[in-house]
Chains A and B, each alone.
Chain A
């Protein structure tokens, strides 16, 4: 077979993105037609993009960042108040954290010993300890977190952003999700639902794929690039001749353009995923050369590269490992090890490149876990009533914590923040009023936050 290299060497046809770009300039996007051109926000934005580090399975707030000394004192006693009305499984008595906590930074944030790297960055982080959702099941909670609804099919948050703001880069999708799980709602978590398909998340691999093998669908074929260049030129000729027989038709013209965009995407996306131009220091910093941190480290590095390239919403998934109904001590420790160094590296890297200023880094899972035990006193059940998330950059107030849980971390009790409030706040930072970002479908104006959501001004600087 002909290899790409051979053809590149032997073909004298200088046809590539430069030549294709000529056609692209013609015509302007039809205002009615969904497009990724950048749009004015409702008001000046503090952030241009979001990187969501999704910890699928539900990390335990009380073993990570929500330090509860009283829980250790009352270990193995019954919880002195009512457990929730709806629970996913029977649970036992209070269970202290198997991990040690220490205060860090000038802000004196408490961090569990399993996050030694993130602990060094606490002064850059905004902790929200009173996050809560409504549903105690993975599937429903994932959908609620991603789309605002645990009942219906709704557009994902990333899709709303693409719809509202377009994309900084016209050659790339506005919303990518790296190695997402196909379970617990799967594609519904990144679908555009009734918004135009253009705004749907582009999955790069799935949770069943190692991140080094994660690719955009159809991004690479078997045809050598040089032959493909010939094909593109021939196709353009044929299509342009066809256009002379049909008369003006914006759809036919868009389709001609779409091939040129595809050709550039095909070049640009793999280049973004090709990390051979990164220094050894960078790779080491993200832990890409090391077993446990390799997979998520690579995801984090890709996130930086997509952010740099101008993608609006980038989601990473540390997939479905945090569901410690049992083996809490071992499981949470190894999970944390896999993400701790990469996340810290991403923070450092974004910060050094000046990207953190207008990028929101967002860490969290679909719910927290119960302070009471499950599975032989080394596990915890799902708990949608309290979980901790943290944010960095993009105009979030650094070095603070917001909201409180009760003395055991079971329920958020003060300054409670529902997923709807989070969505409202994140849209706000992106310059969008969540009550005004609407889309008319089936006779109704829909919003990401439905009829809920309040911007949490306390966590914004």
Chain B
């Protein structure tokens, strides 16, 4: 492409913009429990020898088609009444999991730099603490740059073990929005998940970290949160006596639906390329002239005319960096001026 002259871009000709693209992410409980295997196990559930968390895939994880959708784990604070109880299974790991999430998301507090507790409010004053928690840690594939505030909804089964969804609780962060209803911590913003039926806080969601922290209160009144052929645990018993993966199995058994919208930020630079009336009315394209006559002109006295098809963006040394193509050629003659808006996405 031959260029006759260049148009310098001034400060008023370049601007940046940010566009938000969202995706609606529905996760139905059927894939979390029972679809790819028998109840509580499944080919899409991956447990590790370290036993500290459990990974959930949307398809048997040995398949190349499978996508990792989230990890599950449980834990409690060292100051929880469960800590130090006799016979706690995997106690240090449960405390470590809680501490790790807390340190990364909430940081430390007080002169002793103690680990903060997760709270069921946005005050960060260490009241309304969740000392025992269940964690749902979403994959970046699903939540992308962040979860969109005010779009999270969870339907949790609070029925019997045999029929967990006979009773349900719907948790949502409807009180959170882009401008209000959230708290900012070192792990990003978080909002509170309220149970719609009784308007009670049951957990929190960290938007930029893509993490849901559930309190045990949703299942406090259920005698069998976790059950098997030779055991039956309340939620507290499960956190004490069951392994981390055992409690995660029970949680999966009680998730009916999760849905949220994710957000991808697209940062762009916009270049306004202004074509003055008296310029770019001629082309150096070889096809512009045939037999010493301009092809697009019939009469010699007609005004010059050209068709703009491409814009080249050059650096200060006149080196071509990028080209922008028009979907269709634009007619340019001395009677018109054109401003072409070139958007460069990153």
A binds B: no
User: Which residues of A are interface residues toward B (Cβ below 8 A)?
Assistant: none
